[in-house]
Amino acid sequence: MNAAGMTFVLGGVYSVLQMPFFQSIVTNGSVSQSEFSGTLSDLSAVIVTLKNTPGSKIEAMVDEFNDELTTHLDNFNSEWGSDLLAAFREAQILAGYVTTIMAKSGLSE
């Protein structure tokens, strides 16, 4: 994965989380509405920052975390059709890695 790919992937994760059926993890009490909304807000802010950042500025950090990013993306993709809470947690972990990449690259949301 490269910087552009990471931005694209996060956009996809964000879009999936916005699908109406994901609200069931709030409805069933697995997560609070504020946690769910906060995660979406955080992902949105990260995506905006990444879109406005030259890839060269974060490419080395993306490369360093590529294995972890790919693992969590694969987990998210395999889980969102069967275990929404697990997929949501993977999305949160992905956002955490990206936030770390941005911080180590001197960027902020």
Q: What is the pLDDT of residue 76?
A: 92
Q: What is the pLDDT of residue 108?
A: 62
Instruction: List per-block mean pLDDT (blocks of 10 residues) for the chain, which spans 109 residues.
Output: 86 95 95 96 90 84 84 91 94 87 74
* Tokens at 33, concatenated: 């509405």
User: What pTM was estimated for this model as a whole?
Assistant: 0.85
* Tokens at 50, concatenated: 């990444």
> What is the full DSSP assignment across 23-45?
GHHHHTTSS-HHHHHHHHHHHHH
Number of Cα atoms under 13 Å in the Cβ half of residue 52: 9
Burial of 53-86, coded b for 16+ CB within 10 Å and e otherwise, reads: eeeeebbebbeebeeebeebbebbeebbeeebee
